[in-house]
């Protein structure tokens, strides 16, 4: 298999699951080297554990096989190049005994902050001619695949994260919403959208400047994240835009109302500190208004249409947000009436 053909095969892996990517790499490695036995190991502590194997029927007995971290494996990880170990090494070697191999070759692999290796062997055959050159090509392409997959994951994380607050952003909400609709349709699991709005942010910006407003946003976001985690770890907080935040979670109307009561109770007791330009600290309460809406059950053909049509999914979410917005402004109106009454 030529390098260009290999590259084309590797680039197809990006749309697959991590396990499918590994399995595809093993297939490519087997076809390129002409070796029937290919295994992938990942380091966990001081041992390497078999993660996937070819042929497929060997997987059940090989998965979870532990290999001690031996000196030559440490050396291979440092040089970051494929190494061929032939049949001349010590007959008492633990790895050889474990795998029952006449010879094997290793391709070291970098995986994020960790490492692993691909083991290639053919217990009954001799070293294939030209194997070392083919391993060099495989080493470059396989490691580029892992590097690019890691870079893609990092870029995706950046794309779904709000830069100011560190919460998820609207992009992530758009990505996750179909999953909630799918569970609603197939499992009849209802969900809710809660919409929060910080009270008085404009006044803070006008009085102390936008830097103070940004500090209020980050302080509120941190408090919201931690408080939400203590109430319901499965709910997700999103900065929707400006001073508005969205919480999406599975549950009944009662669950949503209990969540709102808990947030109101716990966050109203907390303050955030704002550092003004003159290094003067002021303490501000975390005042906010909140409303929510519940999912409307969709079944049969209607659910299929919504799940398969991006525009219909967006319309569904917008209707929930509009209803939550109305409920939120009703909460804001109540807070204003209470404030007026208290000043009479």
* Statement to judge: residues 194 and 74 lie in one domain: no
Please state the separation of Cα 196 from the chain's center in Å.
25
Q: How far apart are CA 34 and CA 53, in angstroms?
A: 15
With respect to residue 247, please indicate whether it lies within any of the assigned structural domains: yes
* Statement to judge: residues 230 and 304 lie in one domain: yes
Q: How far apart are CA 60 and CA 112, in angstroms?
A: 26
In the listed set 159, 178, 204, which residue is the last one of a domain according to the structure? 159
* Statement to judge: residues 95 and 227 lie in one domain: no
Q: What is the pLDDT of residue 138?
A: 85
> CB neighbours of 93 closer than 8 A, spacing ≥ 6?
70
Q: How far apart are CA 342 and CA 336, in angstroms?
A: 10
* Statement to judge: residues 318 and 190 lie in one domain: yes
9 within 8 A of 142, measured Cβ to Cβ: no
Cα distances (Å, whole numbers) of residue 247 to 172, 214, 240, 244, 341? 12, 20, 9, 10, 30
Q: What is the pLDDT of residue 341?
A: 47
* Statement to judge: residues 230 and 121 lie in one domain: no
Confidence of residue 6 (pLDDT cuts 50, 70, 90): very low
| Two structure tokens written together for 204 | 């803070």
With respect to residue 46, please indicate whether it lies within any of the assigned structural domains: yes
* Statement to judge: residues 52 and 195 lie in one domain: no
Q: How far apart are CA 244 and CA 102, in angstroms?
A: 65
With respect to residue 150, please indicate whether it lies within any of the assigned structural domains: yes
In the listed set 101, 135, 159, which residue is the last one of a domain according to the structure? 159
Confidence of residue 53 (pLDDT cuts 50, 70, 90): confident
* Statement to judge: residues 64 and 115 lie in one domain: yes
Q: What is the pLDDT of residue 151?
A: 74
CATH number of the domain encompassing residue 197: 3.30.70.270
Q: Residue 117's domain spans which residues?
A: 3-159
pTM: 0.65
For residue 228, is pLDDT > 70?
yes
With respect to residue 164, please indicate whether it lies within any of the assigned structural domains: no
* Statement to judge: residues 186 and 323 lie in one domain: yes
* Statement to judge: residues 93 and 207 lie in one domain: no
- 265-270 long-range contacts, CB within 8 A, separation 24+: 266/227, 266/230, 266/231, 267/223, 267/224, 267/227, 270/223, 270/227
* Statement to judge: residues 193 and 285 lie in one domain: yes
pLDDT digits (tens, 9 = 90+) for 137-184: 888 888 877 777 777 777 788 899 999 999 999 999 999 999 999 999
Query: Which run of H or of E encompasses 270?
Result: none
Q: 164-178: buried (b, 16+ CB within 10 Å) or exposed (e) per residue?
A: ebebbbeebbeeebb
* Statement to judge: residues 148 and 192 lie in one domain: no
In the listed set 159, 193, 220, which residue is the last one of a domain according to the structure? 159
* Statement to judge: residues 146 and 249 lie in one domain: no
Confidence of residue 276 (pLDDT cuts 50, 70, 90): confident
With respect to residue 283, please indicate whether it lies within any of the assigned structural domains: yes
For 233, which DSSP code? T
With respect to residue 27, please indicate whether it lies within any of the assigned structural domains: yes
CATH number of the domain encompassing residue 31: 3.30.450.40
Under DSSP, is residue 84 helix (H, G, I), strand (E, B) or coil?
strand
The number of domains in the chain is: 2
Q: What is the pLDDT of residue 264?
A: 93
With respect to residue 165, please indicate whether it lies within any of the assigned structural domains: no
């Amino acid at each position: 298999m030529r390098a260009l053909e290999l590259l084309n095969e590797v680039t197809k892996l990006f749309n697959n699951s991590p396990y499918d990517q590994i399995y595809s790499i093993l297939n490519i490695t087997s076809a390129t080297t002409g070796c029937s036995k290919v295994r992938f190991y990942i380091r966990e502590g001081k041992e390497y554990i078999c993660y996937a194997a070819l042929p497929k029927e060997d997987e059940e007995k090989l998965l979870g096989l532990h290999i001690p971290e031996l000196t030559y494996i440490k050396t291979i990880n440092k040089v970051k190049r494929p190494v061929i170990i032939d049949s001349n090494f010590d007959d008492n070697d633990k790895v050889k005994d474990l795998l029952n191999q006449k010879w094997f070759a290793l391709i070291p692999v970098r995986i994020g902050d960790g490492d692993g290796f691909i083991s290639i062997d053919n217990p009954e055959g001799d070293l294939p001619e030209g194997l070392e050159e083919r391993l060099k090509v495989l080493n470059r392409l396989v490691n580029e695949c892992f590097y690019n997959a890691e870079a893609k994951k990092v870029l995706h994380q950046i794309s779904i994260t709000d830069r100011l607050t560190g919460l998820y952003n609207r992009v992530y909400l758009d990505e996750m919403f179909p999953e909630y609709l799918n569970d609603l349709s197939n499992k009849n699991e209802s969900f809710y959208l809660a919409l929060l709005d910080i009270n008085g942010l404009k006044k803070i910006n006008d009085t102390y400047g936008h830097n103070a407003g940004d500090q209020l946003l980050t302080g509120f976001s941190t408090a919201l994240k931690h408080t939400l985690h203590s109430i319901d770890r499965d709910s997700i907080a999103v900065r929707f835009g400006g001073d508005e935040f969205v919480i999406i979670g599975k549950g009944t109307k009662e669950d949503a109302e209990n969540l709102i009561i808990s947030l109101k109770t716990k966050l109203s007791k907390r303050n955030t500190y704002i550092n003004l330009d003159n290094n003067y600290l002021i303490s501000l309460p975390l005042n906010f208004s909140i409303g929510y809406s519940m999912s409307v059950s969709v079944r049969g053909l209607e659910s299929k249409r919504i799940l398969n049509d991006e525009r219909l999914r967006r319309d569904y979410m917008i209707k929930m947000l509009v209803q939550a917005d109305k409920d939120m402004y009703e909460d804001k109106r109540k807070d204003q009436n209470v404030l007026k009454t208290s000043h009479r």
